[in-house]
Chains A and B, each alone.
Chain A
């Protein structure tokens, strides 16, 4: 093993504490230390690098880029931009209103809202390093497709009447932000600020994710998963999706859980379904969206995504078995 994070965990757990990695405590602790070191290092690094270029990717700018385009351009653009622009759920409301106000179709807006929390550069890099490039690619491609299809379905059903009336009445001001010169020093200061604010927001969820992953890794026997979560159990996928819907976790914090589940032999499709449902849908986000859309549209939104994730789960379980 040349991985510095695994090396660090080896050093601490095996050499220093003298624990056996084949045993529960040693295995769990090793998993915990390796993932904590890895995820936090990568998280800080990526957020900083992206932060240097962030000013090019403000939501105001995305809105301008998508606004007024034909659907054939707007959909891929919305999903793609959703993937590269991270927003906390606090930003989903201003985004939602701002997009609609710019004349961006409801479906395109929803496509953006679906793709944005599910896929981001941080999750992709951490997925590729801890689980593997292939899985990362599958995750991204499926996530983008779900966003696209979800948006198109909502568009096709003409659900605009389920958007709260006041939303249509809001008029957005032209943001007349003075273009202040951006030196690299300013960019670095901004990027550092981003690192601090994102870590502050995420650290607890990441720790919870790693903790669950370490627990699964060390203490839950493989047989448990072969018995309940194998391809042979048709309820495993829908159950994974149902469990994931109310749970709030960023895509990043779910990775250690996915890593542990895959290592225990849980099928790829089931893990994907769980990850996506945790990342894309959550109770706090649903409550937030309730401010701008009526319950019926929320139900349709959640329903479409749940069905999509279930299809993703069965599909990949079928392909990989």
Chain B
């Protein structure tokens, strides 16, 4: 079970990332616990200033843009 957090404020991009994870995890048959983090203090706690950010199993993996589907695939297969 992978623990995935999407860090995001209000830009709408974060929902895009959430949906990408949901769809691709389903397609790959990987079980994930997906969570959206909107609390600023928490987001900054990960050192992220530009959302959306992606945290996988507690480690920051990406920040600043909607990641490409291939990178999401790679994270899910790790």
Contacts and interface: CB of A to CB of B under 8 A. Distances in A.
A58 B50 contact: yes
Nearest to A292: B40
Interface of B: 9-13, 40-41, 43-51, 59-66, 68
A189 B46 CA distance: 25
A190 B44 contact: no
Interface of B is mostly: loop
A176 B60 contact: yes
Interface in A160-209: 166, 170-178, 186, 189-190, 193-194, 197, 200-201
A178 B54 CA distance: 12
Given A171-B45, A173-B60, A176-B60, 4 more contacts: A58-B50, A91-B11, A170-B40, A197-B11
B47 A172 contact: yes
A60 B43 CA distance: 13
Contact of B50 (A91, A173, A176, A178): A91
A94 B47 contact: no
Interface string A88-109: 1011011101100100000000
A70 to B, nearest CB: 23
Contact of B9 (A58, A93, A193): A93
A117 interface: no
Interface of A: 55, 58-60, 63, 87-88, 90-91, 93-95, 97-98, 101, 166, 170-178, 186, 189-190, 193-194, 197, 200-201, 291
Nearest to B16: A197
28 contacts: A59-B49, A60-B48, A60-B49, A90-B10, A91-B9, A91-B49, A91-B50, A93-B9, A94-B40, A94-B43, A94-B50, A97-B44, A166-B41, A172-B47, A173-B45, A175-B46, A175-B47, A175-B60, A176-B60, A177-B61, A178-B61, A189-B68, A190-B65, A193-B66, A193-B68, A197-B65, A200-B12, A201-B11
B49 A63 contact: yes
A228 B63 CA distance: 49
